[in-house]
């Protein structure tokens, strides 16, 4: 039997996902160009940050001689 804590966490995660999806759809309906531009910019910044983090992590492990 799953613990109550896990069940509550799953329900909260599902609720948060629905809320996020609803907000995104609502923004796309109101002002589609601005919403797409902001989502694209956020994705680009996130990808760049991930790439930089991966690059610095790999450079650090190479320079330590592992």
Indicate whether 63 pLDDT > 70: no
- Looking at the fold, whether 42 and 63 belong to one and the same domain comes out as yes
Show the tokens assigned to 35. Answer: 């919403």
Q: Which residues have a Cβ under 8 Å from the Cβ of 27 and sit 6 or more positions away?
A: 35
Full residue range of the structural domain in which residue 58 is found: 32-66
Q: What is the pLDDT of residue 25?
A: 87
Q: Comparing 15 with 62, which gets the higher pLDDT?
A: 15
- Looking at the fold, whether 65 and 44 belong to one and the same domain comes out as yes
Instruction: Output the DSSP codes for 1-66.
Output: ---HHHHHHHHHHHHHHHHHHHHHHHHHHH-HHHHHHHHHHHHHHHHHHHHHHHHHHHHHHHHTT-
Indicate whether 60 pLDDT > 80: no
Does the reported pTM lie above 0.75?
no
- Looking at the fold, whether 39 and 60 belong to one and the same domain comes out as yes
Question: What is the dihedral sign for C-alpha 45, 49, 52, 58?
Answer: negative
């Amino acid at each position: 039997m799953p613990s109550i804590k896990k069940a509550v966490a799953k329900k909260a995660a599902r609720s948060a996902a629905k809320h996020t999806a609803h907000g995104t759809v609502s923004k796309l309906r109101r002002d589609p160009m601005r919403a797409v531009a902001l989502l694209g910019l956020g994705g680009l910044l996130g990808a760049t940050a991930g790439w930089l983090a991966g690059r610095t992590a790999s450079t650090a492990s190479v320079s330590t001689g592992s």
